[in-house]
Amino acid sequence: TLYVGEKLNIKVKKYTSSSKKKKLVFKSNNKKVTVTKKGIIAAKKAGSAKVTVKAKNSNKKTIIKVKVKKVPKDKVVGLNYKANWRYSSYYDYAKSDYLLINGWPQFDENGKAKVKSGAKKIKFKRKEDIKNYKISWLDLNRADGYEVQRWHFVTDWDTKGHWETIKDIKNNYFKFSDFDENELAKFRVRAYNIVDDEKIYYKSSEILSIRTEHASTDYKNPLINRWISEEAFYLQNIVRNKAGRELLKWDEDLYTFACYRVEGRVKGYYLDHGWSDSMFDAFTNNSYEPGTNIEIENYYGTSYSARDSISAWQNSKGHYAWMISKLVKYGAIAMGSGESYAVFTEKVDNMRGNTSEIDFEAI
């Protein structure tokens, strides 16, 4: 289903042995939907159409049914994205130019692959990293502007997360250009009109999710990535929910402390789990009463995604025990620079500084 004005690129994933060698032909059965030679569908008018994809000079074909809707007047639609890659150039021989015997490449006395006589190198392009993701949507002609919002997975005041406006623009596109590899970003867009100096909002768009393939060229590489940290905490609560445990509440003081733990690992302050109560008190503004358990933490090095850390802790008996412990109600996770720390706490009088006596089987 498309809205009038939207475009869609047909991607053929499976080929028959004949269609691999033959040019694909695209054809629409009416003018409500057009399709180019490269397989790009464009929705022109409300209604329905059938787009046929077949190999030239072949009877095998696939029919795609396309339904086109009118653009609603009270909501942003057509939200999509495109990755803008940065490419580098290099020269090499075509695969067909390399000399093979029984499918195996041949090498000269210097270890270089042999090529056929008269072969010349040609220019190739390869992906290096992503400049940005261009997020766009269908323009609402009556709108005065748009708010682009990104989803916060957790906060200290709402375990269910909330939307934050990160850009207020007049164009119907936004370039998302500051992100790390394997970062999950969720967006939505709200159009608005200005009436008596106040914003009157349209309905919010559908949610667009992007799992980044590579760190962007503009990524500032902070010591801690707040977005990934929140995603990890959200995933941890999913684990607790499946285990029938109460969801943890995000705590900003604990997050500050977890950030310090990451910094300590990155800068080599320490290499183990040990710390003093005074260090914890300093970084939590003495907000926890005596008897608070502060020595529960999970650590994972060489971690570059929220899913990676949570999966590693789930597969470790001791770490998983802390993840689903009934003893804790507050926590935070800090991730960045390849390090991941989760800190949990709860008022438990007999546990201060003595995690070695905990029976993991009983938790």
72 pLDDT band, cuts 50/70/90, is confident
Does the pLDDT at position 250 exceed 50? yes
Same domain, residue pair 207 and 105: yes
**Closest residue by Cα to residue 340 from 301, 307, 312, 311:** 301
Q: In this structure, is residue 34 part of a structural domain? A: yes
CATH of the domain at 21: 2.60.40.1080
Q: Is there a contact between 176 and 218 (Cβ–Cβ < 8 Å)?
A: no
Which of 30, 45, 69 is the last residue in one of the domains? 69
Residue, of 297 and 12, whose pLDDT is higher: 297
Q: Which domain holds residue 337?
A: 226-345
User: Which of these, 287, 264, 300, 305, lies nearest to 345 by C-alpha position?
Assistant: 287
**What are the phi and psi torsion angles at 333 (to 5°)?**
-130, 135
Residues 303 and 247 in one domain: yes
- Is 28 part of any domain? yes
Percentage of the chain beyond pLDDT 90 is 40
Residue among 309, 349, 346, 354 at smallest CA distance from 329: 346
20 has pLDDT over 80: no
Do 246 and 172 reside in the same domain of the chain?
no
pLDDT band, very low/low/confident/very high, at 90 (cuts 50, 70, 90): very high
Query: Is residue 359 included in any domain, yes or no?
Result: no
Q: What is the rounded average pLDDT of the residues 120-144?
A: 92
Question: Do 56 and 111 reside in the same domain of the chain?
Answer: no
At residue 329, does pLDDT exceed 60?
A: yes
Residues 232 and 310 in one domain: yes
pLDDT of amino acid 349: 34
The reply to whether 312 and 336 lie within a common domain is yes
Q: pTM of this prediction?
A: 0.75
Give the count of domains, the chain: 3
Residues 106 and 36 in one domain: no
Residue 86 lies inside a defined structural domain of this protein: yes
Shared domain check, 60 and 84: no
What pLDDT does residue 320 have?
Answer: 93
Residue 246 lies in a domain: yes
pLDDT for 271 equals 63
pLDDT tier, 272 (very low <50, low <70, confident <90, very high otherwise): low
Mean pLDDT of the region 55-70: 85
Please check whether residue 219 lies inside any domain of the structure: no
- For residues 281 and 300, membership in a common domain is answered with yes
| Domain-embedded: residue 144 | yes
Least Cα distance to 37 among 26, 29, 28 occurs for 26
Q: What is the mean pLDDT of the chain?
A: 82
Read off the pLDDT of residues 164-177 as tens digits, 9 standing for 90 and up.
999 999 999 999 99
Name the residue type at position 284: T
Give the pLDDT band of residue 123 (cuts 50, 70, 90). Answer: very high
- Quick one: tokens of 328? 């804790």
Number of H helices, E strands in the chain: 5, 21
**How sure is the predictor about 223, in pLDDT bands with cuts at 50, 70 and 90?**
confident
